């Protein structure tokens, strides 16, 4: 079983408008709602690939109930979310149909009490007993300690479960120091972590800070990986246009899927890059264009070298 952790779950609401203009009233042409938060998006993609996945994290209020109702209806996804007293946040994406650009509005999430955080940690430790790999994804809601991911990484490692971390800022910096198996930052998060805007140098530095492997999302330039087995770059054949929300989450799903399928690193990166690009072509986060994904699998270019170590 693959376990994904989303401490700041969300109800993702996507509005489509013909043209987004500041200071103007807009007629919405289409509205979609999906359970959201990075780990939930990862879980939905994994389920679509045929993997069994359990979703845990924190959820509460009427918005949280809507999230759980939709998760329950998703095949191959098990809801193991832990209740809190506050209301789960909403995220609003406004898609400009003329340009394809997306404007994102993210609420902060509920304030989590110390007893609620303790209850989650106990549930998480129990879930690790049947997990083959765990992904820790996204922002922390108010009240959760900034070192939360570092503690969750250590708990997973003590249980012998490989762990992937996809976070940002101080939670990422502390989490990396706990030595996760894989870290998946984007270019900005990697630069903030290391102080370097040169991706090759930055991925190597992130490994020195504690991560066993680093896979950086570089947008249209694909993925850059620094691992104990070698260094590789995976590049889609051409820039794709659409809604980029969730593309990084699909890359995480590809990496996890490749890990549990025991693929070598170049094949994991091919799967991750193809899923990421195919997600940009899908209308909402947590989904991907399957036809585009299957076509891209044969066209992603992977270059690099195997480590001599």
Q: CA angle at residue 50 from 44 to 52, to 5 degrees?
A: 70
Size of the chain, expressed as the number of residues it contains:
309
Rounding to the nearest 10 degrees, give the CA dihedral for residues 252, 254, 256, 258. Answer: -150
Q: Which of 181, 249, 261, 289 is catalytic?
A: 249
Cα–Cα distances in Å, from 275 out to 61, 73, 138, 232? 32, 23, 19, 17
249 is catalytic: yes
The Cα–Cα gap between 27 and 293 comes to: 32
User: For the purposes of burial, counting CB atoms within 10 Å of the CB of 131, is it exposed (0-12), middle (13-18) or buried (19 or more)?
Assistant: buried
> CA separation (Å) from 192 to 166, 169, 183, 211?
14, 7, 14, 15
> Rounded distance, CA 300 to CA 236, Å?
5
The residues assigned a catalytic role are 249
């Amino acid at each position: 079983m693959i376990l994904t952790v989303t401490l700041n779950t969300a109800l993702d609401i996507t509005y489509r408008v013909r043209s987004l203009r500041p200071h103007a009233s807009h007629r919405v042409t289409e509205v979609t709602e999906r359970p959201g938060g990075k780990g939930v998006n990862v879980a939905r993609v994994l389920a679509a690939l045929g993997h069994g996945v359990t979703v845990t994290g924190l959820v509460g209020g009427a918005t949280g109930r809507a999230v759980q109702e939709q998760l329950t209806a998703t095949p191959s996804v098990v809801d193991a979310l832990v209740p809190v007293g506050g209301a789960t946040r909403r995220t609003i994406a406004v898609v400009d149909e003329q340009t394809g650009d997306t404007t994102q509005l993210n609420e902060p999430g509920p304030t989590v009490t110390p007893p609620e955080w303790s209850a989650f940690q106990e549930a998480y430790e129990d879930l690790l007993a049947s997990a083959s790999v765990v992904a820790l994804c996204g922002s922390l809601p108010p009240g959760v300690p900034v070192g939360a991911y570092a503690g969750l990484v250590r708990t997973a490692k003590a249980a012998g479960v490989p762990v992937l971390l996809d976070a940002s800022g101080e939670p990422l910096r502390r989490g990396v120091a706990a030595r996760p198996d894989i870290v998946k930052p984007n270019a900005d998060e990697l630069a903030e972590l290391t102080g370097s805007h040169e991706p090759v140098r930055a991925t190597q530095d992130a490994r020195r800070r504690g991560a066993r492997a680093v896979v950086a999302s570089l947008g249209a330039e694909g993925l850059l990986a620094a691992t104990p087995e070698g260094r590789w770059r995976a590049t889609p054949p051409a820039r794709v246009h659409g809604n980029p929300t969730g593309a990084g989450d699909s890359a995480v799903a590809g990496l996890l899927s490749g890990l549990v399928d025991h693929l070598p690193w170049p094949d994991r990166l091919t799967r991750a890059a193809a899923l990421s690009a195919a997600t940009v072509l899908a209308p909402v986060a947590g989904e991907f264009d399957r036809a585009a994904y299957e076509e891209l699998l044969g066209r992603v270019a992977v270059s690099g070298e195997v480590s001599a170590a």
